[in-house]
Structure 1
Amino acid sequence: MEGGVQLAASHVSNPHEAASLGDGFDPGDWKSRIIAGRATGAAANPPAWLDASYETLCTHVMDPAYPCFFGTIAEKRGEMFYSYVNGKDIRDLPATMQTFAELVTLPQYRKNNIAIFFEPDAQPLTHEAYHAWFWSILQHLHDVDPDPKADAQPEPSHEDWEFSFAGVETFVVCACPSFRLRHSRNLGPGMVLLFQPRSVFVDTITNKVIGREARNQVRKRLETWDEISAHPDLGFYGDPGNLEWKQYFLDDANLPADDRCPFLKRQREKAAQVAAAVPAHTSTHPDASIDKVSGFAHGSYTHWHPRAAAAAESPFAPHAARHGAEHRHLADSEHERREHGEE
Structure 2
Amino acid sequence: MAELRSKIWIEEHGAGLPEWQRTAFGEFAAMIAGPGSEYPCVPGHRGFVSNNLRYGFAPDPRTDRAVSDTAELLSAYGECARETGRYASLVIFYETPEDLTNTADVREYELLFWSLLNRLHDKDPAPWPGDIPQDPGTSTWEFCFAGEPYFAFCATPAHGRRRSRHFSSFLIAFQPRWIFDEINETTAFGRNISRMIREKLAAYDDVPVHASLKWYGQPDNQEWKQYFLRDDETSPSRCPFMAMKNKFQK
TM over 0.5: yes
The residue number in structure 2 matching 1:169 is 149
Give me the TM-score of the superposition, normalised by structure 2: 0.82
Tell me if structure 2 keeps the 8 A contact 1:115–1:192: yes
> Unaligned stretches of 5+ in structure 2?
none
Question: Given the alignment of the two structures, is residue 49 of structure 1 paired with residue 25 of structure 2, yes or no?
Answer: no
Tell me if structure 1 keeps the 8 A contact 2:6–2:54: no
What is the aligned counterpart of 1:140 among 119, 125, 138?
119
Instruction: Kindly state the Cα deviation for residue 77 of structure 1 after the two structures are TM-superposed.
Output: 0.7
1:123-170 Cα deviation digits (max 9, x unpaired): 312111111110011111112212123587421111110111111111
Give me the TM-score of the superposition, normalised by structure 1: 0.61
Instruction: Kindly state the Cα deviation for residue 253 of structure 1 after the two structures are TM-superposed.
Output: 1.3
Instruction: Kindly state the Cα deviation for residue 239 of structure 1 after the two structures are TM-superposed.
Output: 0.8
1:202-258 Cα deviation digits (max 9, x unpaired): 349xxx695223112101101111111111111111111110000111110112x12
Tell me if structure 2 keeps the 8 A contact 1:203–1:209: no
Task: State the alpha-carbon separation in 1 of the partners of residues 38 and 231 from structure 2.
Answer: 21
Task: State the alpha-carbon separation in 2 of the partners of residues 232 and 247 from structure 1.
Answer: 9
Task: State the alpha-carbon separation in 2 of the partners of residues 71 and 94 from structure 1.
Answer: 22
Task: State the alpha-carbon separation in 2 of the partners of residues 190 and 6 from structure 1.
Answer: 18
Amino acid at match of 1:238: G
Change (3 A) 1:158 1:6: closer
Considering Cα pairs closer than 8 Å and 6+ residues apart, tell me whether 1 or 2 has the greater RCO: 1
Instruction: Kindly state the Cα deviation for residue 109 of structure 1 after the two structures are TM-superposed.
Output: 4.6
| Alignment: residue pair count | 234
1:313-328 equivalences under 5 Å are: none
Instruction: Kindly state the Cα deviation for residue 49 of structure 1 after the two structures are TM-superposed.
Output: 1.0
Question: Percent identity among equivalent residues?
Answer: 28
Task: State the alpha-carbon separation in 1 of the partners of residues 214 and 58 from structure 2.
Answer: 30
Task: State the alpha-carbon separation in 1 of the partners of residues 54 and 197 from structure 2.
Answer: 22
Question: Given the alignment of the two structures, is residue 58 of structure 1 paired with residue 29 of structure 2, yes or no?
Answer: yes
The residue number in structure 1 matching 2:203 is 224
The residue number in structure 2 matching 1:95 is 72
Task: State the alpha-carbon separation in 2 of the partners of residues 240 and 213 from structure 1.
Answer: 21
Task: State the alpha-carbon separation in 1 of the partners of residues 2 and 171 from structure 2.
Answer: 24
1:1-343 equivalences under 5 Å are: 28-30=8-10, 46-63=17-34, 64-87=37-60, 88=63, 89-90=65-66, 91-104=68-81, 106-109=82-85, 111-123=87-99, 124=101, 125-149=104-128, 153-187=133-167, 189-203=168-182, 210-255=189-234, 257-264=235-242
Q: CA RMSD, aligned part only? A: 3.0
Change (3 A) 1:220 1:147: same
1:269-315 Cα deviation digits (max 9, x unpaired): xxxxxxxxxxxxxxxxx68xxxxxxxxxxxxxxxxxxxxxxxxxxxx
1:176-207 Cα deviation digits (max 9, x unpaired): 011111111112x2110011112223349xxx
> Unaligned stretches of 5+ in structure 1?
8-21, 33-40, 268-285, 288-343
